[in-house]
Amino acid sequence: MTQNKNKVVIFLGPPGAGKGTQAERLAAEQDLVKISTGDILRDHVARGTELGQTVQPILTAGQLVPDDILIALIRDKLAGMEQVRVIFDGFPRTQAQAQALDLLLEELGAPVTAVPLLEVPDEALVGRIVERGRQAAARGEAVRSDDTEEVARKRQQVYREQTQPLIEHYEGRGHLYRVDGVGTMDEVYSRILNGMR
């Protein structure tokens, strides 16, 4: 595995900050695999797998899925890759997950490349999440169980309590840079790219 071909980008930021949208674009343009634990878990819920049945009540309540489940999912996803060229969206969310990911990436010889932190004021975030739910309903799509104001506020609180330490974790390692997440998708995307240089 050649060190320089590996690329590991970790998107941080509260729910509704636009991490998923920006991560998808970056993945497409830089030949990276976007790994969203939320997408993987929602897929399991939709398919009614054993894992899906275990995590559904946790997701519906706006709580975080236990570390061991998520770390096993990530290990499984990375194990088959010849080159580790990934973007993490929604993982890690806790200090324990970050440390487990550091160890896993070290094993694979693929250190963290960059950690953009999307920053958006709370009220704007809740508005975005509720609007995402409204738009899905208007299109006749299933509304995500976490796209309600009550769950959105709960998730902001959980984010602040459990994810904030990650900012210090990655800042201390020199990987983190802050990105103003307010503006058009293009404006935010160009700020993300600028920070990576």
| Residue 138 backbone dihedrals phi, psi, to 5 degrees | -65, -30
Annotated binding site: 16-21, 37, 42, 63-65, 90-93, 97, 132, 144, 155, 183
* Residues contributing to the annotated binding site for ATP: 16-21, 132, 183
Q: Output the known binding site for AMP.
A: 37, 42, 63-65, 90-93, 97, 144, 155
Q: What is the DSSP string of 157-183?
A: HHHHHHHHHHHHHHHHTT-EEEEE--S
Q: Count Cβ neighbours within 10 Å for each residue of 48-72 and write b for 16 or more, e otherwise.
A: eeebbeebbeebeebebbebeebbe
**Which residues, including other chains, have CB under 8 Å from residue 45's CB and lie 6 or more apart?**
52, 53, 55, 56, 59
